[in-house]
Amino acid sequence: MNKKTPAVIVLEDFSVWPGFSCGAFNDAEGEFVFNTAMTGYQEILTDPSYKNQIVVMSYPLIGNYGIIAKDYESERPFLSGFVMGEMCKNPSNWEMTETLESFLKRHGVPAIEGVDTRALILHLRNKGALRGLISNQVSELGRLKKKVRMIPSMVGAALAPQVSCREKYSWSSSGKFHALVYDFGAKRGILRALAAEGFRVTVVPAQTSSSDALALNPDGIVLSNGPGDPEPLKDIIEVTKALIDSGKPILGICLGHQILALALGGKTYKLKFGHHGSNHPVMDIESRQVEITSQNHGFAVDAASLPDCVKATHISLNDKSCEGFSHKEAPIFSLQYHPEASAGPHDALKYFRRFKEMIEKKASRA
């Protein structure tokens, strides 16, 4: 039996959480958040929206079905570290290509197991998301406690350009309508859902100008999910204003939802501990229908700040935060949660169809 290497979590409130190293043998720094999903750890690991964050999994056993090639949401992990109660060392799944442990080490992701994740998550719920680190240097707590206060805050962090593609590319080349996706950290699930709805899909970097985007002659534009604080993305917000003025149908998802709100004159704010999981109830305000949704965000739109030309359409049943809005006149709507799920429930896949119907309606008037 291999001897386990002790590791430790140190948070900015100087609380210490012992465990054992089970990933790459180096330190991790970032904002600690927790995810309540029971499955989908590979999608979580490869979601670019977790850039500069360390994810604590609430489900006690992680890694039991290994890593599956087709389940990647991006080309690699973007999160800083991973925390589990227990990591499965001997997974069983006919589709797996490697173990979770191998995946973490191959990509240089530090991880820790043997942590009382239930107590840690309750701590984060009470205190809010905290900066912190994972380290194998368990005898140097004094140094680690000094180091933890130097970790940058997520507030003011403009991270979308850091995770975006560097050049435009085609995801799907066939379809009646052309959807252009701004990549702020786009999950592949969004691209798959658009292709399944019959779109030709082109993906462009986060800092693509409005003129370059419109020169590609899209029928509709999708502003994707992504990491960090939306407010410092000033250039992207200005580009979004120009895209709104173009009259093209626009769908905003997660960070894209927040960027749309800011471009329309609204405001955003930092949530206490964010929404991270695949079981978040959201209500459609008009129909009163409830959807169970997949979510991953630490900021939210202030519904009260939205201009009169915009109406809130969805609300979180957990904390009453704004989960969606639509423009009263222009072909624009957005969702704070992930309609593509990946992984998670499929309650909201219908909104990709709604986006297509919006484009069809505009085309019929042309």
Query: Using one digit for the tens of pLDDT, what is the confidence trace for 253-284?
Result: 999 999 999 999 999 999 999 999 999 999 99
Q: Which residues pair with 325 in a beta bridge?
A: 312, 334
Q: Name the CA radius of gyration of the chain, rounded.
A: 20
pLDDT for the residue 300: 98
pLDDT for the residue 2: 64
For the cut 50, the answer to whether the pLDDT of residue 139 exceeds it is yes
Q: Between 92 and 1, whose confidence is greater?
A: 92
| For the chain, percent of residues with pLDDT exceeding 90 | 96
* List 113, 197, 254, 276, catalytic entry: 254
pLDDT for the residue 212: 98
Topology match between the domains 6-148 and 160-365: no
| Whether 346 is catalytic | no
Q: If you search the block for the tokens 């930092």, which residue do you land on?
A: 270
| Domain range annotation of the chain | 6-148, 160-365
Query: Using one digit for the tens of pLDDT, what is the confidence trace for 315-330?
Result: 999 999 999 999 999 9
pLDDT for the residue 344: 85
Judge whether 32 and 237 are in contact, CB under 8 Å.
no
CATH architecture of 160-365: 3-Layer(aba) Sandwich (3.40)
* List 29, 101, 197, 340, catalytic entry: 340
| Whether 338 is catalytic | yes
Query: Using one digit for the tens of pLDDT, what is the confidence trace for 213-223?
Result: 999 999 999 99
Query: Which 3-state string (H, E, C) describes 97-142?
Result: EECHHHHHHHCCCCEEECCCHHHHHHHHHHHCCEEEEEECCCCCHH
On whether the 6-148 domain is CATH 3.30.2020.30, my answer is no
Judge whether 197 and 228 are in contact, CB under 8 Å.
no
Read off the DSSP letter of residue 152: P
Q: What is the pTM of this model?
A: 0.96
* List 276, 297, 314, 338, catalytic entry: 338
pLDDT for the residue 1: 46
- Going by pLDDT thresholds of 50, 70 and 90, the confidence category of residue 364 is confident
| Whether 340 is catalytic | yes
Query: Using one digit for the tens of pLDDT, what is the confidence trace for 140-171?
Result: 999 999 999 999 999 999 999 999 999 999 99
